[in-house]
Structure formats: structure tokens, C-alpha cells
Structure 1
Amino acid sequence: MFEITINYDTCDADQECINACPAQVYDEGEDGKPVIARPEDCLGCETCVEVCPTGSITVQEV
């Protein structure tokens, strides 16, 4: 299982993580920023971490 953390203070709502996630873990929030909707589906691939231009996402195995 993996824990996803988003720093909403630095997130610029570009939605790269939403579009890149192969497991479709994220949904778009009302403000355009990603919402972790299905954390149990996270594969731990860190694709979201790699595509985030602001470095606002971390993924850790728990």
C-alpha cells in the first residue's frame, strides 16, 4: 500500500498528475487541483511525482 501526499500550497492545478496516473487515482477538485479519490488503487509507480512540475506530490510505501 502507498501513501500519496499533495502539497496544495505549491500545487498549480496543471492536472498533469490526473492525466498521467495509470491507475486513475486522482479526480479533479472544484478548484482544478487533484483530489486523491482512490488511494487504494495506487501502484506506487511515482508517475505523478515525475510529471508534477512543482514537486507537490510524494508517494511512500506504508
Structure 2
Amino acid sequence: MFQITIDYDKCAADQECINACPAQVYEVGDDGKPVIERPEDCLGCETCVEVCPQGAITVEEI
């Protein structure tokens, strides 16, 4: 299982992580920023980390 953390102070709401996630873990929040809706589906691939230009996402194995 993996823990996803989003630093919303860094997040630019560009939705790159939402579009890139192969497991569709994220949904668009009311403010346009990603919301982690299905953390149990995270594959730990870190695609979201790689595509985030602001470096706002971390994924850690727990």
C-alpha cells in the first residue's frame, strides 16, 4: 500500500497528475486541485510525481 501526499501550497491545479495516473486515484476538487479519492488503488508507479512540475506530490510505501 502507498501513501500519497499533496502539498497544496505548491499545487498549481494544472491537473497533470489526474490525467497521468494509470490507476485513476485522483478526482478534480472544487478548486481544480487533485483530491485523492482512491488511495487504495495506487500502484506506486510515481507517474504523478514525475509529471508534477511543482514537485507537489510524494508517494511512499507504507
Which residue is equivalent to 1:41? Answer: 41
| Identical columns (%) | 81
Give the structure-2-normalised TM-score: 1.00
Please give the alpha-carbon distance, in whole angstroms, between the structure 1 residues aligned to 2:53 and 2:32. 15
Gapped runs of 5+ residues in structure 1? none
Which residue is equivalent to 1:16? Answer: 16
Tell me the C-alpha RMSD between the 2 structures: 0.2
Which residue is equivalent to 1:3? Answer: 3
Give the structure-1-normalised TM-score: 1.00
SS at match of 2:8: coil
Write out the 4+ residue segments of structure 1 that deviate beyond 2 Å after TM superposition: none
Q: How far off is 1:60 after superposition?
A: 0.1
Please give the alpha-carbon distance, in whole angstroms, between the structure 2 residues aligned to 1:10 and 1:31. 14
Gapped runs of 5+ residues in structure 2? none
